[in-house]
Amino acid sequence: MSLLGDRSSGPADDLAQLEAGLDALESQREQKTSRLRKAWAATWPPLVFLALLVGVWQLVYNAKVVDPVRLPSPSDTVNSLKDQFNAGDLQKASWNSVRRGALGFLASLAIATPLGLLVGRVKPVRRAVGPILSGLQSLPSVAWVPAAILWFGLSDTTIYFVVLMGAVPSIANGMVSGLDQVPPLFLRVGRVLGARGLASARHVLLPAALPGYVGGLRQGWAFSWRSLMAAELIARSPDLGLGVGQLLDLSRQNLDTAGVFAGIISILVIGIAVELCVFAPLERQVLRRRGLVAATV
């Protein structure tokens, strides 16, 4: 009771009412739209565009502007996908590639997170490693494939090495920029509240850096997937399990244009699916909790 003081007096009640009124006037009213409607609003425009694209493709095919050997029809491509599926190659290759991508991404995560923390928080490390780390981000990781083949031969190690070189800089740089975006005032408040050292990192620094870090993760996945495809396209050997990239290159060797198109489409679809099912919701949740709007996919 001592905490609340005397609340029976008239003027205090007036003040309480006044405050309640102000709060009500100034608070945002949340607009609730149903999830289904939101999902629909986000889905139909790209679907319409996709249909248009396929329509144009079909028209070009019908007009015979391009030699049909070079340009398969949409239905040829779908049939090719069906054949790959019926033979079981598509599932096997997809699973292999997704597994490699996920493992490579997780390994990148394990390396890049402490690296990003070091670069972000330790000044000498930042001066020395920072520029190289951001430089590496603009180096296409496919450039590492020849070197990796010389070092590790045509092995899984080569593939994982290339994935790591692609994803680690992205994730580490995301961590660094997340740390840079932490308002200094938050750290000061943390100190006033008595948070030092590990407690400050755990309760203030890391949660405050999370949006940048999650952005880095999302980009890191995109780089993992791209690097993986580059590696799979170049590094082919019977010893390596069949991946989507290898499947695509196999079609090229057989001059199977429909198969090549099918390959491109499966790579695209898998990349988008992982993005939509894992990273987009993750980022959206982190940002929405803070009242920030997520960037649209």
Partner 1 sequence: MQVVEAGPAVAVRGLTKRFGAAPNVLEDVSLAVAEGEFLCILGASGCGKSTLLGLVADLDQPTAGSVEVLGGKPSLMFQEPALFPWLTARENVELALRLKGVGKQDRRERARDLLELVRLKDAGTKRVHELSGGMRQRVAMARALAQDSHVLLMDEPFAALDAITRDVLHEELVRIRESQKLTVLFVTHNVREAVRLGDRVVLLSSRPGRVVKEYDVNIGQPRRIESPEVAALSVAITDDLRSEIRRHGGQS
Q: Summarize as ranges the residues that interact with partner 1 (CB under 8 A).
A: 2-6, 11-12, 15-16, 18-20, 22-23, 26-28, 30, 183, 185-186, 188-189, 191-195, 199, 203-204, 207-208, 210, 289-292
Cβ of residue 207: shortest distance to partner 1, in angstroms?
Answer: 5
Instruction: Return d(Cα 178, Cα 215) in angstroms, integer.
Output: 9
Shortest Cβ distance from residue 75 to partner 1 (Å)?
50
Least distance from partner 1 to the Cβ atom of residue 220, Å:
21
Please choose, from the candidates 153, 172, 279, 156, the residue with its C-alpha nearest in 3D space to the C-alpha of residue 216: 172
Measured between alpha carbons, how far apart are the two ends of the chain, in Å?
52
For residue 28, the minimal CB distance to partner 1 (Å) is 6
* Residue number, 252 or 290, with CB nearest to partner 1: 290
Nearer to partner 1, 195 or 264 (CB): 195
Please say which residue, 193 or 272, places its beta carbon nearer to partner 1.
193
Instruction: Return d(Cα 187, Cα 73) in angstroms, integer.
Output: 59
Tokens matching residue 275 = 């993005």
Q: How far is the CB of 4 from partner 1 (least distance, A)?
A: 6
Q: How far is the CB of 296 from partner 1 (least distance, A)?
A: 19
| Phi, psi (deg, nearest 5) at residue 7 | -110, 10
SS3 state at 277: helix
Residue 52 or residue 189: which is nearer to partner 1 going by CB?
Answer: 189
Q: Which two tokens mark 67?
A: 């030699």
Looking at the Cβ atoms of 2 and 62, the one nearer to partner 1 is 2
Confirm if 296 and 220 have CB atoms less than 8 A apart: no
Q: Of 202 and 252, which CB lies nearer to partner 1 in the complex structure?
A: 202
Minimum CB distance to partner 1 smaller for 88 or for 194: 194
Q: How far is the CB of 174 from partner 1 (least distance, A)?
A: 17
- Region of residue 196 (left: phi > 0; alpha: psi -120 to 50; beta: else): beta
Q: Which is nearer to partner 1, 10 or 88 (CB)?
A: 10
Nearest to 121 by CA among 46, 9, 198: 198
From the list 135, 115, 221, the residue with the least C-alpha distance to 175 is: 115
Alpha helices (H) along the chain? 10-26, 35-62, 74-87, 89-121, 123-137, 145-152, 156-180, 184-192, 197-200, 206-234, 244-253, 257-274, 280-289
Instruction: Report d(CA 237, CA 154) in Å as an integer.
Output: 7
Closest approach, Cβ 5 to partner 1, in A, equals 3
Look at the alpha carbons of 3, 8, 9, 15 in this order and tell me if their dihedral is positive or negative.
positive
